């Protein structure tokens, strides 16, 4: 993948500054519009663990080719001793911090002369990388796809994929991106919750035809593994 080739170059540049080192990032969660307009950048939400107790600058590493958008994120980390914030004595009042960056970055505009799809990929922690990078960086995983239209894309649905945590509020099942704040999304199918804790899931966020647990904005689960 062309998006991963620049990492050794950036690492070399970072090495020229004795105070910085490069650390590759892995995407735990990705969320993006299901349909976009051709040649128009679009927002993508990323949840990425960051180097704890260190000063860093984040780079999303977004690129696109003829078949996919790829995020190969990395951090420029300032070298030096680790300095962690004190842990509160009562974590029930002051919960432990989430050591993940929850950010929205832009994906490049995608070329199309007719309606077509591109894959959405990112560096991730997986057992069987697809495709396998040749530079020794994190493996790349396909999170889903995006439909590119010449005009009038459907903006009512957002695709999403990544590692989730299952939890319940008021007896209703929800999932949230691992490492993110405990807000999350209500599951559309409240009976289908087996194997969702710390699973990699794919699905989409949309308005259900009928309320679920009193809400209409829900996460529709497509697959888990």
Single out the residue of 206, 195, 205, 131 nearest to residue 163, CA to CA.
195
The pLDDT value recorded for residue 99 is 77
Q: How far apart are CA 2 and CA 124, in angstroms?
A: 16
What gap in Å lies between CA 50 and CA 55, rounded to an integer?
Answer: 10
| Through-space distance between the first and last CA atoms of the chain, rounded to whole angstroms | 24
Best CA proximity match to 138, nearest among 149, 124, 151, 128: 124
What local confidence, expressed as pLDDT, does residue 154 receive?
Answer: 97
Comparing C-alpha atoms, which of 133, 4, 15 is closest to residue 73?
4
> Which ranges of 99-224 would DSSP assign to H, the alpha helix?
none
Size of the chain, expressed as the number of residues it contains: 225
How many other C-beta atoms can be found within 10 angstroms of the C-beta atom of residue 184? 18
Using DSSP, state whether 223 is helix, strand or coil. Answer: strand
- Asked if the peptide bond before residue 12 counts as cis, ω within 30 degrees of 0, the response is no
CB 100 within 8 A of CB 29: no
Please give the pLDDT value at position 183.
84
What is the distance between the alpha carbons of residues 83 and 54, in angstroms, rounded to a whole number? 7
- Rounded Cα–Cα distance for residues 108 and 39 (Å): 8
Which contiguous run of DSSP H or E holds residue 144?
A: strand 140-149
pLDDT of the residue at 94: 41
Q: What is the pLDDT along the chain (225 residues), one digit of tens a residue?
A: 444 444 444 444 444 557 899 999 999 999 999 999 999 999 999 999 999 889 999 999 999 999 999 999 999 999 888 887 665 555 444 444 567 999 999 999 999 999 999 999 999 986 544 555 555 678 999 999 999 999 999 999 999 999 999 999 999 999 999 988 778 999 999 999 999 999 999 999 999 999 999 999 999 999 999
Mode of pairing for the β-strands spanning 215-224 and 199-212? antiparallel
């Amino acid at each position: 993948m062309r998006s991963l080739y620049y990492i050794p170059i950036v690492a070399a540049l970072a090495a020229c500054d004795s105070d910085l080192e490069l650390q590759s990032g892995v995407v735990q969660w990705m969320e993006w519009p299901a349909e976009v307009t051709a040649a128009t950048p679009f927002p993508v939400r990323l949840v990425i663990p960051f180097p704890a107790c260190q000063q860093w600058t984040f780079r999303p590493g977004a690129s696109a080719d003829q078949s996919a958008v790829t995020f190969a994120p990395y951090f420029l980390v300032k070298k030096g001793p680790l300095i962690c914030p004190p842990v509160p004595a009562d974590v029930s009042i002051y919960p432990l911090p989430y050591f993940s960056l929850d950010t929205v970055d832009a994906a490049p505009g995608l070329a199309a002369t007719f309606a077509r799809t591109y894959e959405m990929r990112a560096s991730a922690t997986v057992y069987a990388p697809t495709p396998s990078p040749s530079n020794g960086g994190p493996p790349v995983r396909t999170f889903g796809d995006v439909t590119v239209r010449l005009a009038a894309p459907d903006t009512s649905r957002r695709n999403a994929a990544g590692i989730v945590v299952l939890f319940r509020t008021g007896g209703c099942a929800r999932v949230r991106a691992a490492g993110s704040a405990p807000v999350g999304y209500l599951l559309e199918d409240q009976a289908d919750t087996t194997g969702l804790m710390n699973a990699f899931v794919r699905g989409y966020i949309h308005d259900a035809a009928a309320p679920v647990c009193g809400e209409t904005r829900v996460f529709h689960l497509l697959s888990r593994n």
